[in-house]
Chain A
Amino acid sequence: DIQMTQSPHSLSASLGETVSIECLASEGISNYLAWYQQKPGKSPQLLIYYASSLQDGVPSRFSGSGSGTQYSLKISNMQPEDEGVYYCQQGYKYPYTFGAGTKLELK
């Protein structure tokens, strides 16, 4: 299975700050990488797909980048509603796998 290693495990950010979350795949995944946000008691919501494509309706302060095995999610201008857990997911090979999540809190 492809292992997805996310870092950091958790972070806190001030209002308006820019944060980045990293995701490292155990092998190349050809940009078949998606990012999700999950809030407590809710289902995950798609933010970014194909490494850098913004899902419809997602604020433009979210952006994704990367290639090969290394990917990142950047959140610019941190807002209170951005608190939650963020997951990366590879769709390159069965079984599709997720990172362990990064908990983002407002400082």
Chain B
Amino acid sequence: EVQLQQSGAELVKPGASVKLSCKTSGYTFSNYYMSWLKQMPGQNIEWIGNIYGGNGGTGYNQKFKGKATLTVDKSSSTAYMDLSSLTSEDSAVYFCARMSGRPHYFDYWGQGVMVTVSS
């Protein structure tokens, strides 16, 4: 069974950074891309970027370049996302999601993690 388990909720101060994790099981991590997505309360879903589990190759939404950095640890089948210089606009639920090859859809999702930026 494919599972994506995300780390717990975060409360961080403005200007700080946070590192989110997404531990996977039930499939060959190095054969798939992992995407990260953002959803602000009551809002649309935004795609942040993706990373290939095999070689760590990345692709980013231009909007999130400089804000998000994606990495993987193949030895533990875990994907990470660093968010830097946090502001209130970064308060949201963040999901990791396994991405298919073409036509690029998200077939398995983590449970989501709430990041709250507040002093």
The tally of residues in B whose CB lies under 8 Å from a CB in A reads 22
Q: How far is the CB of B108 from chain A (nearest CB, A)?
A: 8
Q: Which among B59, B61, B105, B111 is the interface contact of A91 at CB below 8 angstroms?
A: B105
Contacts of B62 in A (CB 8 A): 95
Q: Which of A49-64 contact B (CB under 8 A)?
A: 49-50, 55
Residue pair B47, A98 in contact (C-beta under 8 Å): yes
Shortest CB distance B52–A (Å): 14
CB within 8 Å of B: which A70-95 residues:
87, 89, 91-92, 94-95
* B38, chain A: closest CB distance, angstroms: 11
A33 proximity list for chain B (CB < 8 A): 103
Chain A, range 1-56, C-beta contacts under 8 Å to B: 30-34, 36, 42-46, 49-50, 55
Instruction: Give Cα A94–Cα B63 distance, bound, in whole angstroms.
Output: 11
The verdict on A32 contacting B47 (CB below 8 Å), with A43-B109, A44-B109, A95-B62 known, is no
The answer to whether the Cβ of A97 comes within 8 Å of any Cβ in the partner chain is yes
* Bound Cα distance A33, B100 (Å): 12
- Interface of chain A: mostly helix, strand, loop or mixed: loop
Q: Which residue of B lies closest to A41 (CB)?
A: B112
B45 touches A87 (CB 8 A): yes
Looking at the complex, which one of B44, B61, B104, B111 makes contact with A43 (CB distance below 8 Å)? Answer: B111
Query: Roughly how many angstroms separate A43 CA and B94 CA in the complex, as a whole number?
Result: 10
Residues 93-107 of A, flagged 1 when their CB comes within 8 A of B and 0 if not, give 011111111000000
9 contacts between A and B (CB under 8 A): A32-B102, A32-B103, A43-B109, A50-B103, A55-B107, A89-B106, A92-B104, A95-B63, A97-B47
Give the A-binding residues of B (Cβ under 8 A).
35, 44-47, 59, 61-63, 95, 97, 100, 102-107, 109-112
